[in-house]
Structure formats: C-alpha cells, structure tokens
Amino acid sequence: MDTILVINAGSSDLRFHIYSVEGEGRLRQRLNGRMDGIGRCPRLRANKTGGGPLANRAYPVEAVPDVAAAMDIVGAWLRDELHIHSIAVGHRIIHGGAEHDRPIVIDQEVLACLERLTTLAPFDLPHNLAPIRSILANFPAVLQVACFDTAFHRTHAAVIDHYAIPPASRIPVYVVPSDENLMIARHALTLLMNGSSREPS
C-alpha cells in the first residue's frame, strides 16, 4: 500500500499522519501520532484512525534530545514495526518568505534558502526543518514537499497583510486551514505524480 507521511514539527513535539493512496489519487488517513516532551520527558503516542491505540511509549530524555532524534525514532517505528514505507513526505513549514508561494519539492538548495529565513520565525522554523535534514541524510531518494503557512492565503488583498502594520515591519501573515494535514498530503501526492522519480523509504 502506497502511503504519504505528513510531518508537523515544533519545539517540543513532532506530530505525524499517515495517508494511504487509493484509487484515482484519493487519500485516506490511516493513523496519527506524536512524539511529545522532546528533550524533557519523551513519549510516542499513536492511534489508528477510527480505531485503538498503536503505541504509548516513554523514552529516556537522552534518547530524544531534539526533533531530529524524534524523527529518527518515529521513522524507525513506522518502518520496522508497522512496515510503512512512504512514497513521499509532506512538511508543514511556518514561513516560506517572499520566495515561496506554493508547495515545493525540497532539495539541498531549497533547504539552504529556508535556513536563511530562520530569523523570521526563530522559535518554529529551525524545528520545522530538522526532520527534513534527517530524511535527506538517511533517505535522500524520498520525495519531500514543503507546504508553507505563509502560502495558504497569498491570494488575498495586500491590505490584509499590511493593515495597521508599520511599513518597516511588514511580513506576510498566515492563516492555517482547518484540514492542513490532508492538504499537505494532497500537495505531496500531486508533486509526486507530476514526474518526481523518488523511491520509498
């Protein structure tokens, strides 16, 4: 079964969703989970969609000191215990700057560009990028797609971005859609089907 993995990484947790790819490009959520307490009291929790729990495990703090380590543990659990080898990974990224107004396939050049934007969202963006680095290092052939909060509403009028904000402080605002994980999975599947030749992890 082909699947899409969606990752949403923050400073203290890493949330993930697995969607199966069904006929005519339809997606069905199969499970969701999170590694929370990263660097403090790490715990992996996961549930089947509409079903029971799949995992509820505590880890020593030294085993999960950061988001990259959490990604490694979650990825190994998905592959080794659930035998899930996703054909693409979609990432929620808080800020894409002025350059990124739509989902994009991630390579080293894109990653370097995003790293230069960390001053725009210093409490979130470095953590968003940590899983990307981990997957690029360990599974470079897997297609990864960045979906930006700042791109979801780039078609609205400029006054919405600028109202009541001094000119020197103007940066794009963002609004997160209610079903962001499914949207990210759809973008990843679309870019995969449009000619990217990556292999599953």
Output the DSSP codes for 38-81: TTTS-EEEEEETTS-EEEEEE--GGG-SSHHHHHHHHHHHHHHT
CA pair distance 199, 177, nearest whole angstrom: 29
User: What proportion of the chain, given as a percentage, has pLDDT over 90?
Assistant: 57
pLDDT 10s digits, 111-159: 999 999 888 888 889 999 999 999 999 899 999 999 988 765 556 566 6
Q: Which residues are tagged catalytic?
A: 149
Q: Write down the mean pLDDT value for the chain.
A: 85
CA pair distance 151, 26, nearest whole angstrom: 23
pLDDT at 117: 87
Starting at the edge strand that comes first in sequence, how are the strands of the sheet with 3-9 ordered? 53-58, 43-48, 27-36, 13-21, 3-9, 88-93, 143-148, 104-105
Torsions phi, psi of 76, nearest 5?
Answer: -65, -40
